[in-house]
Amino acid sequence: MPNLNKVLLMGNLTRDPEIRYANETAICKLGLAVNRKWRTKDGADQEDVCYVDITVFGRTAEACGQYLSKGRPVFVEGRLNFNQWQDKETGANRSKLDVVAESVQFLGGRDDSQQGGQQGGQQGGRNQGGQQRGRQQGSSQQQGGWEQSRDTSSDGIDFDDIPF
């Protein structure tokens, strides 16, 4: 029988990212709050919040630590990870279920980029267009610490005219 371990979450960070290094690999810990809203049969609005711990590795972890902050919206794609250990003080068995992120997209608009996020998102070291950072088409412009690449030669569209 085939197996699948895939998680897709969108929510807001509950705290600033915590980044550390182990064997020259960046490890970033994130706290994510995912809201669920519904209406009961009698018409009352209800809301539930699920708090999830996220672990990010490598270059994506470095970008999360550098550009994200508490309250920022993100989209995380990853897998569930179950950890078990014995508490050193009490000797009791402990366990925790968390998510290991395979990609993290920074959400938010142009105004949010000044507060620590990339417009469009960060996914495994690539921007939304799939081009490696540093490769450029046409002219480039610095915004919020990231290079935006523009190609206005082929279709005559000026990206400054787009309202979002």
In 111-150, DSSP assigns E strands to: 140-143, 146-149
| 66 lies in some domain | yes
- Domain holding 102, by residue range, is 7-36+44-133
| 144 lies in some domain | no
| 151 lies in some domain | no
What pLDDT is recorded for position 99?
95
How far apart CA 72 and CA 22 sit, in angstroms, is: 26
Q: Can you tell me which residue has the tokens 């809203």? A: 37
Among 88-92, 95-99, 125-129, the minimum mean pLDDT is found in 125-129
Q: What is the mean pLDDT of the chain?
A: 77
What pLDDT is recorded for position 124?
46
CB 64 within 8 A of CB 30: yes
* Helical residues (DSSP H) of the chain, grouped into ranges: 58-67
How far apart CA 156 and CA 144 sit, in angstroms, is: 25
CB 57 within 8 A of CB 81: no
Domain count, the chain: 1
CATH of the domain at 106: 2.40.50.140
Tally of CB atoms within 10 A around 85: 10
Tally of CB atoms within 10 A around 52: 19
What pLDDT is recorded for position 118?
39
| 83 lies in some domain | yes
Model pTM above 0.75: no
pLDDT in tens, 41-88: 999 999 999 999 999 999 999 999 999 999 999 999 999 999 999 989
What pLDDT is recorded for position 108?
80
Would you give the DSSP letter of residue 164? Answer: -
First to last CA, the chain: 45
pLDDT band at 1 (very low <50, low <70, confident <90, very high): confident
| 159 lies in some domain | no
3-state helix, strand, coil in the chain (%, to 5): 10, 50, 40
What pLDDT is recorded for position 75?
96
What the block records as the tokens of 160 is 């400054």
